[in-house]
Amino acid sequence: MSDSVDLRFLDPALPLVERVQLLVGQLTLREKIAQLLHAAPPVPRLHVPAYNWWNECLHGVGRAGRATVFPQGVGMAATFNAPLVHRLATAISDEARAKYSDAQRRGNTGMYMGLTFWSPNINIFRDPRWGRGQETYGEDPYLTARLGVEFVKGLQGDDSRHLKTVATPKHYAVHSGPEAGRHSFDSVVNARDLRETYLPAFKATVSEGGAHSIMTAYNRTNGEACSASPTLLGQILRGEWGFQGYVVSDCGAVEDIHAHHKLVADMPSAAALAVKEGCDLCCGEIYRNLLEATQRGLISEEEIAVSVRRLFDARFRLGLFDPPAQVRWNAIPDSVVCCPEHRQLALEAARQSLVLLKNDGTLPIKPTINRIGVAGPLALDLVALLGNYNGHSPAMTTILGGLAGLVGNGVTLTYAKGCEPSGGGAFAQDGLRWLFADSELIIACLGYTAELEGEEGDAFNADAGGDRAKLGLPGRQQEFLDFLLTLGKPVVVVLCTGSPVDLRVAQEKANAILCAWYPGEAGGVAIAEALLGKTNPGGRLPVTFPKCLEDLPPFHSYAMAGRTYRYATAEPLYRFGFGLSYTTFAYRQLRLDRTTLKAGESVTARVTLTNTGMVAGDDVAQLYLQPLAPSVPAPRWHLEGCQRVHLAPGESRELSLTVKAEQFQHYTDGGQPFLDAGSYRIHIGGGQPDDPHAGCLHADLAIAQTNVLIPN
């Protein structure tokens, strides 16, 4: 390599491919290898600054200090509102760009200050024991795909020249616990389940969303390490889907190929295998072994250069080598971070995420009630608002704080923590009985926090390495609730959680249950508004709440039989898509624009939705497809359309939902999608077809062709 330096790659007028080639062609082998580490060092002679690829933004810019904190991913999913998720991601990327610009001015090039975000988490929440399910959009591939696409688009922006940020859907591809074994287990899954459940959201975020990055999972899938899988990375991601971006490993996942999966003899072999199979960027240090790997003939310099070019392509697309004034996103001001508009958006999202699970008429709280008791370990707990991978807002409102801000000056609020969120410790029953003696109603604030469920190592109080060993309330919370239910007062349970909880006792004996998830900085305000009737809860469950662990298959099994609403046969406590309201809705006059369907066609269903109650509210119209006599194993029914609608009392609206022929597809034993001739039923209502609250209507149509294969 010549000592002369060619800086023409800094000319934004040159084609992108040429700029990348000019830069990478001047790097030495050692410099190329160093650029494959997540903490990429500078190359001063080429004016290449240091860059740290590691950043997070599941529900707001995470782990980088000040940022607006939106509801955790599962709460976003409960909104069933893809346009809202797009707005949230746009706000997040606005703040990301502003924070990056300020960090550059300060010379802060460290972790969590870059523009490449390892979000969203679009793994399927197949088992409620998984601690990281809170990060996902729930158990349904369709809903996960729709929300994932909008999140990716909101992060990456709409500029034809420069990416606003880089989105990184994760963890590719068959990954959802157990956390304790994630570095060594093999997710054995048949081709049908792989294509029908685990891959659709990844395909959508790549093919429709244009995601420029993908993160691999720690585990193996069908024997292949996900970070070096010729099937997942080569055949499917780049081959079938045409992915043109870069792939990053989860942190330490390439090390696992040797250390835990035992697929190769040593670390240089693991590093070489990962790069050769298409894992371009390493979160960790193992790629330093690539120098030895080249010396041993395990990988060539050109194979390394392929990955280096992909990474610099992304940095050029972000505008990092262009004059700042030519990059539209550099004009975003510092003032956008935690601005009033974003704080209002956080409140709107929290409002829409709330799911009313039970109500005997106790809610909304009557304005004539003057004495309210607030009890439980999460009433005054900021951690219960956050979820994991969070930022820090200067405007956090607890549940008690939200109530205090909204009740009248003449209303008495009596508060008692009662018990700890987890662990043992007695609670003083006599004192609590005296404290709440005059209360007309008790609000019990219970559930989990990200300290009790989450990622291995982060959820330090979890009972199963980040996961949950049980579905019930943690610690002595169930005993505390049982005690409150003996006081002879109406009891409203407010549940903070990132996953399903066994609420059988509360469902039987409490007067109302409001699921708040981890609702973000404005959670306390949103909860108080809903309890007091200033807003009307309209969220829906993005996950099934089973009755008990005994209704679930073994946690380590990745077969979908018996899992999620699509395949389970056990009666759940609460169905996927379920949620109550302070008003009522009716569906009428379902019409299809065709009764037969062929490949390449679509069918549009129209229905009239009416608010038949006395207050304004949101309903989520859900469209499910049901194969009546499938020729292969298939879901009993599956969500393929949804629309959140706000209606005033007495207002009606005609809704139109369109379904493409490929959404009816089944899969062969080998994972090939095909259209199967036969009868299908389209259900539309406020929930699943077997939900008595949903008011579903249905109409039948036929697929007119037999075994029409659809390309993957």
Q: Is 522 found in the same domain as 398?
A: yes
Task: Map tokens 């004034």 to a residue.
Answer: 325
Torsion of Cα atoms, 246 then 252 then 254 then 255, to 10°: 160
Question: Could you tell me the CA-to-CA distances from 96 to 26, 83, 86, 574, 680 in Å, in that order?
Answer: 31, 20, 15, 37, 45
Residue 140 covered by a domain: yes
Q: Is 147 found in the same domain as 211?
A: yes
Number of domains in the chain: 3
Q: Which two tokens stand for residue 550?
A: 């005994």
Each residue of 110-168: pLDDT tens digit?
999 999 999 999 999 999 999 999 999 999 999 999 999 999 999 999 999 999 999 99
Position 704 scores a pLDDT of: 84
Residue 488 structural domain: 354-567
β 585-592/602-611 pair status: antiparallel
**Entry pTM:** 0.98
Residue 327 covered by a domain: yes
> Could you tell me the CATH number of the domain that includes residue 263?
3.20.20.300
Q: Is 261 found in the same domain as 149?
A: yes
- Within a 13 Å sphere around the CA of 468, how many CA atoms are in the beta-carbon half? 31
State which of 302, 336, 370 marks the end of a domain: 336
Spatial CB neighbours of 377, under 8 Å, sequence gap ≥ 6: 417, 418, 419, 420, 421, 445, 446, 475, 477
> Could you tell me the CATH number of the domain that includes residue 682?
2.60.40.10
Q: Is 321 found in the same domain as 252?
A: yes
Q: Is 548 found in the same domain as 501?
A: yes
Spatial CB neighbours of 682, under 8 Å, sequence gap ≥ 6: 590, 592, 603, 605, 623, 624, 625, 626, 659, 698, 699, 700, 701
Position 712 scores a pLDDT of: 78
d(CA 444, CA 436): 12
Q: Is the pLDDT of residue 527 over 70?
A: yes
Mean pLDDT of 426-435: 94
Position 705 scores a pLDDT of: 72
State which of 336, 366, 389 marks the end of a domain: 336
The neighbouring-strand residues paired with 443 are 374, 492
How many residues are listed for the chain in this entry? 712
Position 426 scores a pLDDT of: 83
Residue 580 covered by a domain: no
Q: Is 359 found in the same domain as 282?
A: no
Q: Is 36 found in the same domain as 96?
A: yes
What percent of the chain has pLDDT above 70? Answer: 99
Q: Is the pLDDT of residue 708 over 70?
A: no
Mean pLDDT of 176-183: 97
Residue 125 covered by a domain: yes
Q: Is 228 found in the same domain as 166?
A: yes
Lowest mean pLDDT segment, chosen from 100-109, 242-251, 391-400, 417-426: 417-426
Q: Is 263 found in the same domain as 224?
A: yes
State which of 567, 600, 615 marks the end of a domain: 567
> Could you tell me the CATH number of the domain that includes residue 368?
3.40.50.1700
Q: Is 379 found in the same domain as 245?
A: no
Tell me 282's DSSP state: B
Helix (H, G, I), strand (E, B), or coil: what is residue 204? helix
Q: Which two tokens stand for residue 69?
A: 């904190």
Residue 285 covered by a domain: yes
Residue 711's pLDDT band (boundaries 50, 70, 90)? confident
Residue 24 covered by a domain: no
Residue 15 covered by a domain: no
Q: Is 607 found in the same domain as 490?
A: no
Residue 118 covered by a domain: yes
Q: Is 259 found in the same domain as 187?
A: yes
- The residues carrying an active-site annotation are 250
Each residue of 252-261: pLDDT tens digit?
999 999 999 9
Q: Which two tokens stand for residue 78?
A: 């409960």
